[in-house]
Amino acid sequence: MENARIAAIFAEMADLLELREDNPFRIRSYRNAAQEIRNLSEPLETRVAQGEDLTDIPHIGESTAAKIHEILKNGTCKQHDALRKAIPTGVLEIMHVPGIGPRKAMQLHRALKIGSLDDLKLACEDHRVRDLEGMGIKTENKILRGIRTVQRTRGRLLYREAAEQLQSLARHLDSIAKIDRWEVAGSFRRAQETIGDLDILVHTADRERATDAILKYDTIREQLGRGEERVSVRLESGLQVDFRFVDSAAFGAAWMYFTGSKAHNIKIRRAAQTKRWKLNEYGLFNGTQRLAGETEKAVYTRLSLQWVPPELREDSGEVEAAAQDRLPRLITADDIRGDFQCHTTASDGSNSIAEMAAAARDYGFSYLAITDHSQRVTMANGLDDDRARKHADAIREAGAGMKEFRLLAGIEVDILKNGDLDLRDKTLAAMDWVVASVHYDRVMSRKAMTDRILAAVRSGLVHSLGHPLGRIIGKRDPLLVDMDRIIDACVECKVRLEINCQPDRLDLPDTFCRRARDAGATFTLATDAHSVAGFQYMPLGINVARRGWLRKQDVLNTKTMAELDNALAR
């Protein structure tokens, strides 16, 4: 069992306890345990197998450790089951709608018998919610917007979750001797931020036996369909996987077709039609003669197009660019030399400065900005001026002892409600690296929120704007802001826009990256690691950057240490 699954059980228990207005300390301790487990670099299963004492892990006490043992043994724990029985699953779902929360969820459940998202939507549309105590028309509208946010991602997995599923499925597919080649297509190959289902192409000389072998995968919940051309399954996680069998002469054409997007495919097919040819999943044809099909490159080339990286295949100008040899040379993982946001035990991280630095170096970085929270973030034990200065000294001291590696003494400073920064100018000016972010007081008019962020961008004290939209995918709506004005100000003041690599943030999102790039902005990729395991999120940010048409020169992390020193000299 994966750590993510165990963490999810603790997080859900915390939610359920919160719905019952249980002891806040207990709720907090389950939340902390969930976060800690999610951040562990090694599977709990392994630790237990090696006989390690789980209470050595921070935030894991005797009773939590006992529950982990129980979950590893039975796949579930008694307390979780009992809590689940007491509260309908639908109430949990509505509790996570932006604008609701545990108290309102229970109120809606009690007063209107609401037990699902659909119930809630109907109730809002019938204006039954506005009359409840403490709700009103504004709340009702906010809930309706929140439902839309949740529904957009309902039934879809975060890219990172799909990647984890694919990783273990890949081991199975690789072990099947009858499979000559397999490749992933669909939204996953295009690296979309959420994934509806996985699409996998398979080349084999024996479809029958390959299908049998595929169906032996041990986490299949149900078989959805089986035929000569394809087989579809649903995994335990709920994720659907479509396998399609393809001949090698058509592999490239099929890979293009099933990678999509639909809009891109339509554009390409039209390009074929203007030459009086036909393009489908079997190849590019002139009458019955196959002109290309074995590789994607051959198909694109025959259509007088550059090969289009999958991340760009959204019909957002890439076909026109490919026709004119103008596709951007996209940034790659190899270009990245460092990371611009992470946390330590000084605020809400799980590891020390030295541990984070060593892990970043092991990951292959040559510099790292340590950016703990400022005082406004009381929940995360944010730093006041005095602690921030001392922390900076500690970072510099730790950095001084490292060869060929640079630590930047930084801070993630809160942008307060009035646009002021959460620490004194003098404190911020003494830092090597300042990320400014909004975490609190998120409900404001569009104008007020835009002005608030503009004030921070124009302060002259900030190097980058952290998670600029402040959204959590499927959970928290983006801040209401005029992003174009913020982008312009960032360009003017040379403040970099952060692409936060956390799996549920991916913020700034791809379409805004593209707009900002066209406006002349520069970017940072930031894992926002909260433990040594967090650096592995860097590729998620690279996906976003590539989907946003970013090149090496658009991103600060591609600079060498010496170039970075120049760029940061004030």
Rounded Cα distance between 178 and 180, Å, is: 6
Q: Which of 222/492 has CB closer to ligand DGT?
A: 222
In whole angstroms, the minimum distance from the beta carbon of 302 to ligand DGT comes to 18
- The amino acid at 178: K
Under a CB-based contact definition with an 8 Å cutoff, are residues 329 and 322 in contact? no
Q: Which of 315/451 has CB closer to ligand DGT?
A: 315
**Residues 489, 561, 529, 461, CA torsion sign:** negative
Provide the terminal-to-terminal Cα distance of the chain, rounded to the nearest Å: 49
**Number of residues binding to ligand DGT, judged by CB under 6 A:** 14
Helices 3-19, 62-74: crossing angle, 10 deg rounding: 120
Rounded Cα distance between 465 and 55, Å, is: 38
In whole angstroms, the minimum distance from the beta carbon of 192 to ligand DGT comes to 6
Given 18, 140, 193, 197, the residue binding Ca ion (CB under 5 A): 197
In whole angstroms, the minimum distance from the beta carbon of 198 to Ca ion comes to 6
In whole angstroms, the minimum distance from the beta carbon of 509 to ligand DGT comes to 16
Ordered strands of the 278-280 beta sheet: 278-280, 283-286, 289-292
In whole angstroms, the minimum distance from the beta carbon of 531 to Ca ion comes to 31
Point out which span in 193-201, 339-347, 349-357, 504-512 binds Ca ion (CB under 5 A): 193-201
Given 35, 79, 141, 261, the residue binding ligand DGT (CB under 6 A): 261
- Between 494 and 533, how does the x/- string for binding to Zn ion read (CB under 5 A)? ----------------------------------------
Ordered strands of the 179-184 beta sheet: 179-184, 197-204, 240-245, 230-235, 220-226
- The amino acid at 89: T
Tell whether residue 64 is a contact of Zn ion (CB under 5 A). Answer: no
Given 36, 140, 193, 199, the residue binding Ca ion (CB under 5 A): 199
Given 98, 99, 146, 186, the residue binding Ca ion (CB under 5 A): 186
Q: Match 């990951």 to its residue by tokens.
A: 363
In whole angstroms, the minimum distance from the beta carbon of 518 to Zn ion comes to 26
- Between 264 and 303, how does the x/- string for binding to ligand DGT read (CB under 6 A)? -xx-------------------------------------
**Residues 135, 140, 141, 145, CA torsion sign:** positive
Rounded Cα distance between 97 and 41, Å, is: 30
Among Zn ion, Ca ion, ligand DGT, none, what binds residue 437 when CB lies within 5 to 8 Å by partner kind?
A: Zn ion
What is the SS3 assignment for 413?
Answer: strand
Q: Which of 293/509 has CB closer to Zn ion?
A: 509
Closest-by-Cβ residue to Ca ion is 186
Q: Which of 40/198 has CB closer to Ca ion?
A: 198
Rounded Cα distance between 374 and 471, Å, is: 20
Residues 93-112 touching ligand DGT, rule: CB under 6 A, are: none
Point out which span in 100-108, 181-189, 317-325, 350-358 binds Ca ion (CB under 5 A): 181-189
Helices 446-457, 483-493: crossing angle, 10 deg rounding: 10
Tell whether residue 375 is a contact of Zn ion (CB under 5 A). Answer: no
In whole angstroms, the minimum distance from the beta carbon of 508 to Ca ion comes to 24
Tell whether residue 260 is a contact of ligand DGT (CB under 6 A). Answer: yes
Distance of alpha carbon 229 from the chain centroid:
33
Nearest to 104 by CA among 132, 123, 145, 141: 132
Q: Match 């008019």 to its residue by tokens.
A: 445
**Number of residues binding to Ca ion, judged by CB under 5 A:** 5
Under a CB-based contact definition with an 8 Å cutoff, are residues 414 and 391 in contact? no
Under a CB-based contact definition with an 8 Å cutoff, are residues 433 and 410 in contact? yes
Q: Which of 110/262 has CB closer to Ca ion?
A: 262
Residues 397-436 touching ligand DGT, rule: CB under 6 A, are: none
Which of 54-72 are b and which e, b meaning 16 or more Cβ less than 10 Å from the residue's Cβ?
Answer: beebebbeeebbebbeebb
Tell whether residue 543 is a contact of ligand DGT (CB under 6 A). Answer: no
Given 110, 152, 262, 494, the residue binding ligand DGT (CB under 6 A): 262
Under a CB-based contact definition with an 8 Å cutoff, are residues 367 and 338 in contact? yes
Q: What tokens does 119 get?
A: 């119930």
In whole angstroms, the minimum distance from the beta carbon of 342 to Zn ion comes to 11
Point out which span in 17-25, 191-199, 442-450, 469-477 binds Ca ion (CB under 5 A): 191-199
For 363, residues 6+ apart whose C-beta sits below 8 A from its C-beta are 535, 536, 538
Query: Residue 163: which H helix or E strand, with range?
Result: helix 159-174
- Between 167 and 186, how does the x/- string for binding to ligand DGT read (CB under 6 A)? -------------------x
Residues 189-218 touching ligand DGT, rule: CB under 6 A, are: 192, 195-197, 199
Nearest to 410 by CA among 401, 394, 402: 394
Residues 500-539 touching ligand DGT, rule: CB under 6 A, are: none
Among ligand DGT, Zn ion, Ca ion, none, what binds residue 146 when CB lies within 5 to 8 Å by partner kind?
A: none
In whole angstroms, the minimum distance from the beta carbon of 439 to Zn ion comes to 6
For 304, residues 6+ apart whose C-beta sits below 8 A from its C-beta are 323
Tell whether residue 437 is a contact of Zn ion (CB under 5 A). Answer: yes
Tell whether residue 258 is a contact of ligand DGT (CB under 6 A). Answer: yes
Q: What tokens does 436 get?
A: 């400014």
Q: What tokens does 1 get?
A: 């069992």
In whole angstroms, the minimum distance from the beta carbon of 440 to Zn ion comes to 11
Q: Which of 265/350 has CB closer to ligand DGT?
A: 265
- Largest Cα–Cα distance in the chain? 77
Residues 233-252 touching Ca ion, rule: CB under 5 A, are: 242
Among Ca ion, ligand DGT, Zn ion, none, what binds residue 265 when CB lies within 5 to 8 Å by partner kind?
A: ligand DGT
* Cis amide linkage into residue 497, ω under 30° from 0: no
Rounded Cα distance between 219 and 239, Å, is: 11
Provide the binding-site residues for ligand DGT, judged by CB under 6 A.
186-187, 192, 195-197, 199, 257-258, 260-262, 265-266
Provide the binding-site residues for Ca ion, judged by CB under 5 A.
186-187, 197, 199, 242
Provide the binding-site residues for Zn ion, judged by CB under 5 A.
437
